[in-house]
């Protein structure tokens, strides 16, 4: 009796859902989307990580270009060498004094 009810319900299912290729394709798609090592969430995370790495790469390439420009300016221009030495290393000429003023109010 139960078999007849099951057989009757099985006949009501559309032919597409009874096709073994459709069932296999559906199971394969579900496996790839949810359970596989390279599922959709991992692919999205990897894509976001790749996008961040590309942004960092462009930032660092821009920094390299700026640094190379400053380096070429320093190696070719004696005035820029003197300016750099005075600003960064507090160098001075023999006949001058350097006074460093520290602002204590900015530490509050």
Whole-angstrom distance, CA of residue 35 vs CA of residue 104: 61
In a domain, 99, yes or no: yes
Total number of domains constituting the chain: 1
Residue 43 scores a pLDDT above 60: yes
In a domain, 62, yes or no: yes
**Mean pLDDT, all residues of the chain:** 86
In a domain, 89, yes or no: yes
In a domain, 45, yes or no: yes
Give CA angle at 88 (87, 93), nearest 5°.
60
Q: Encode pLDDT of 57-95 as tens digits.
A: 999 999 999 999 989 988 998 888 888 888 888 788 888
In a domain, 71, yes or no: yes
In a domain, 52, yes or no: yes
In a domain, 73, yes or no: yes
In a domain, 8, yes or no: no
pTM across the whole model = 0.54
Q: Show the domain range for 54.
A: 15-107
């Amino acid at each position: 009796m139960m078999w007849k009810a099951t057989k009757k319900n099985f006949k009501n299912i559309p032919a597409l859902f009874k096709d073994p290729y459709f069932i296999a394709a559906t199971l394969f798609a579900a496996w790839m989307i949810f359970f596989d090592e390279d599922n959709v969430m991992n692919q999205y995370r990897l894509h976001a990580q790749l996008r961040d790495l590309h942004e960092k790469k462009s930032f660092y390439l821009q920094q390299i270009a700026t640094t190379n420009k400053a380096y070429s300016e320093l190696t070719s221009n004696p005035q820029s060498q003197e300016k750099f030495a005075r600003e960064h290393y507090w160098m001075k000429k023999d006949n001058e004094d350097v006074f460093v003023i520290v602002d204590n109010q900015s530490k509050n």
